[in-house]
């Protein structure tokens, strides 16, 4: 439990109907008691938990009335943070709310840091770390699909699944450690077989959720779609056509785009972050070379790569090399400038070597642009399953990937007949990664990173 009491305005800045000033901590009720005069002479400190009352907010030094407000008292542990919480609903002017808050500071509260209410809820065991992250996802959700998944994570559905896996790992450990601890009583063959079956099942379940992770991440932060290709093939023109506005500079001079340009948009309800990049070519020019490096790394990190090909030129060796290197990714070959009627890109070769992941477009006539958006949309919605609950942050996916890898290692060592202590180590590593996911074991640095993304008052 924290000693100090924190305060912040929990509603957005600006004028509105009401503003909520929130206090949390051991002294929140006493502080409110000193600055609120309830009607009929009642005292805030006598208010039952989860009750509200009308009162005047008064300056403790002058006795002057600052505002009339509704006071809500929620005593710990049954509150958002797990501590005593008082919410003061005052009129929604910026100055009024600030005066109410500064009065609470004069009486002993201190300004809350970003996300500190939710951080306390986590540290006091009210919510798990994945649920805390879901709070932010719910607040920032911009599409129905994002909100639906964030809501499920907030209710603890994802955390419950992870805990079920954790239990499974503990059971597998018990099966393997039984023969180590009591070698004379237990048949190691049978126990091994059972542990193997269990680990196999857990691994498959994790792999299934991991295969859908790109959708979860995309819904949380927007699908990153990166346009790459040789200089002058038509990337910036396509970038503009996909955004329906002139955002990037288009010229017939190769090497115009130097840095990565990013814009947010939405395709059929899918939140998209579109990236335009420098043309891929060897160059001695320092700034352009930096741009090319950035283009490569943007493509590496993106959820979807659009490799742009100019229909007025034949496929070149480097096109094959790039397409080959991204074959296991969500990569679409986009043949542009089709309005010029040259048709020099051999689609039969693309079909043969890369399957049907290509599309023809024209940034000038707009032909094929909607088709391309639908292809990207389809790639992600095909991962969706209304039953599956998805991870919502790269951190969660990283923990899950480490757990999955450790389970696979455990299975490998079991199959290869290694000694049980090696297998046990792998299972412990998997359990550790899952505990990091839900926050049972987590570093201060990770916590700081997560909560710094929150706004003050949340």
Interface contacts to ligand GDP, rule CB under 6 A: 229, 231-237, 250-252, 256-257, 279, 336-337, 339-340, 362-364
Q: Residue 353 and residue 347: Cα distance in Å, rounded?
A: 10
Segments of 321-454 assigned E as strands:
330-336, 358-360
Shortest approach of ligand GDP to residue 373 CB, angstroms?
16
Instruction: Give the torsion through C-alpha atoms of 310, 313, 318, 322, to 10 deg.
Output: 30
| Cβ-based nearer residue to ligand GDP, 337 or 395 | 337
Shortest approach of ligand GDP to residue 300 CB, angstroms?
19
| Cβ-based nearer residue to ligand GDP, 311 or 436 | 311
| Cβ-based nearer residue to ligand GDP, 229 or 391 | 229
Q: Which two tokens stand for residue 253?
A: 């001079």
Shortest approach of ligand GDP to residue 251 CB, angstroms?
6
Shortest approach of ligand GDP to residue 168 CB, angstroms?
50
| Cβ-based nearer residue to ligand GDP, 56 or 263 | 263
Shortest approach of ligand GDP to residue 255 CB, angstroms?
8
**Do residues 439 and 159 lie in contact, with contact meaning Cβ atoms separated by under 8 Å?**
no
- Per DSSP, the residues of 65-87 read EEEEEEEEEE-TTSSSSSS-EEE
Shortest approach of ligand GDP to residue 307 CB, angstroms?
11
Shortest approach of ligand GDP to residue 167 CB, angstroms?
53
| Cβ-based nearer residue to ligand GDP, 79 or 338 | 338
| Cβ-based nearer residue to ligand GDP, 124 or 338 | 338
The answer for 93, left when phi > 0, alpha when psi is -120 to 50, beta otherwise, is beta
Long-range contacts of 186-190 (CB under 8 A, 24+ apart): 188/420
| Cβ-based nearer residue to ligand GDP, 12 or 366 | 366
Shortest approach of ligand GDP to residue 271 CB, angstroms?
24
**Do residues 239 and 259 lie in contact, with contact meaning Cβ atoms separated by under 8 Å?**
no
End-to-end Cα spacing for the chain: 18
| Cβ-based nearer residue to ligand GDP, 221 or 254 | 254
| Cβ-based nearer residue to ligand GDP, 251 or 297 | 251
Instruction: Give the torsion through C-alpha atoms of 40, 41, 47, 53, to 10 deg.
Output: 40
Pairing between strand 223-228 and 304-310? parallel
Q: Coil, strand, or helix at residue 94? A: helix
Shortest approach of ligand GDP to residue 243 CB, angstroms?
13
- Element at 449 (helix H, strand E): helix 444-451
HSE at residue 267, side-chain half, CA atoms within 13 A, is 26
Q: Which residue's structure tokens are 């059972």?
A: 194
Q: How far is CA 168 from CA 73, 171, 398, 443, in A?
A: 41, 5, 20, 24
The answer for 223, left when phi > 0, alpha when psi is -120 to 50, beta otherwise, is beta
Q: Which two tokens stand for residue 146?
A: 């994002």
**Do residues 180 and 425 lie in contact, with contact meaning Cβ atoms separated by under 8 Å?**
no
| Cβ-based nearer residue to ligand GDP, 124 or 257 | 257
Shortest approach of ligand GDP to residue 292 CB, angstroms?
12
């Amino acid at each position: 439990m924290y000693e100090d009491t924190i305060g912040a305005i929990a509603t957005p800045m600006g004028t509105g109907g009401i503003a909520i000033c929130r206090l949390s901590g051991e002294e929140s009720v006493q502080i409110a008691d000193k600055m609120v005069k309830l009607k009929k002479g009642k005292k805030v400190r006598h208010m039952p938990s989860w009750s509200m009352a009308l009162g005047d907010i008064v300056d403790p030094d002058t006795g002057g009335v600052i505002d009339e407000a509704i006071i809500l008292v929620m005593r710990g542990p049954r509150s958002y943070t797990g501590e005593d919480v008082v919410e003061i609903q005052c009129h929604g002017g910026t100055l009024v709310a600030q005066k109410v808050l500064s009065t609470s500071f004069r009486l002993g509260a201190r300004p809350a840091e970003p996300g500190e209410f939710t951080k306390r809820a986590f540290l006091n065991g009210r919510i798990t770390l994945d649920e805390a992250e879901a709070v932010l996802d719910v607040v920032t959700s911009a599409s129905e699909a994002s909100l639906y998944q964030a809501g499920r994570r907030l209710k603890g559905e994802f955390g419950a699944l992870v805990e079920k896996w954790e239990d499974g790992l503990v059971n597998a450990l018990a099966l393997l450690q039984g023969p180590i601890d009591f070698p004379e009583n237990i048949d190691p063959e049978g126990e091994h077989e059972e542990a193997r079956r269990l680990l196999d099942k857990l691994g498959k379940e994790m792999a299934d959720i991991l295969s859908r992770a790109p959708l979860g991440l995309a819904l949380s932060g927007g699908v990153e779609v990166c346009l790459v290709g040789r200089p002058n093939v038509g990337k910036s023109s396509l970038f503009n056509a996909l955004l329906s506005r002139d955002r990037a500079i288009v010229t017939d001079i190769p090497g115009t785009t130097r840095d990565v340009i990013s814009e947010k948009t939405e395709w059929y309800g899918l939140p998209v972050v579109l990236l335009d990049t420098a043309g891929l070519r060897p160059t001695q020019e320092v700034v352009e070379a930096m741009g090319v490096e950035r283009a490569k790394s943007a493509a590496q990190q993106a959820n979807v790569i659009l490799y742009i090909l100019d229909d007025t030129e034949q496929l070149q060796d480097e096109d094959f090399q790039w397409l080959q290197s991204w074959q296991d990714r969500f990569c679409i070959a986009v043949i542009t400038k089709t309005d010029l009627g040259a048709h020099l890109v051999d689609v039969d070769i693309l079909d043969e070597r890369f399957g049907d992941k290509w599309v023809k477009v024209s940034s000038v006539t707009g032909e094929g642009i909607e088709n391309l958006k639908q292809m990207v949309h389809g790639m992600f919605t095909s991962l969706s399953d209304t039953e599956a609950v998805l991870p919502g942050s790269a951190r969660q996916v990283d923990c899950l990937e480490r757990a999955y890898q450790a389970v696979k290692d455990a299975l490998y060592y079991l199959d290869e007949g290694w000694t049980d202590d090696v297998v046990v180590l792998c299972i412990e590593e998997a359990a550790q990664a899952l505990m990091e996911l839900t926050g049972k074991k987590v570093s201060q640095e990770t916590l700081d990173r997560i909560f710094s993304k929150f706004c003050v008052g949340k």
